[in-house]
Amino acid sequence: MDKKRCFLIGHHDAPESIYPALQREIERHITELDVTEFIVGRYGNFDRMAARALVTAKQIHPEIFLWLLLPYHPAEQKVKAPEGFDGSLYPEGLERVPRRIAIVRANRSVVDHVHFLIAYIRHPGSNTQKLFEYANKKKLQSSLL
């Protein structure tokens, strides 16, 4: 069976009030959609909440994997995956991307390699919104919080 992967993305100023919905959606992806791998960044409140919810979910579902998305080459900026993560992921081909667009390109690259997307959009017209639309065009199963 192929591993099913889910990417979580949302705005840096996501309110704590969405945390219960985020937990429920992660649990649904694990139990109903058979997702075994999750990828999350580390740049803002949404990413912090997603990581916290996934580390908690791993206590109940130890079979899942949690990967930290690195938008900058690990040789350039050493990053140790936080406790509870299984490691980090640096998308192939990003080493030639200018730093100012590295996060946007890393996010898009991940969407090209996952089956599901969980997103929180607070600001219309943002890169998160554009990525959600891109995922829908690719026919990814996307959940919006």
Flag whether pLDDT at 116 surpasses 70. yes
Q: Which of 1-15, 20-34, 69-83, 123-137 comes out lowest in average pLDDT? A: 69-83
Instruction: Lay out the sheet containing 4-10: strands in order across.
Output: 87-89, 65-69, 35-40, 4-10, 116-120, 141-144
Phi-psi region of 84 (alpha: psi -120 to 50; beta: other; left: phi over 0): left
Q: In this model, does residue 22 exceed pLDDT 90? A: yes
Residue 125 has pLDDT above 90, yes or no: no
Quick check: 76 pLDDT over 80? no
Domains of the chain with CATH codes: 4-144 (3.40.50.450)
Q: What local confidence, expressed as pLDDT, does residue 112 receive?
A: 93
Q: How far apart are the first and last CA of the chain?
A: 28
Residue 77: pLDDT over 80 = no
pLDDT at 108: 94
DSSP string, 52-80: HHHHHHHHH-TT-EEEEE-SS-TTTS--P
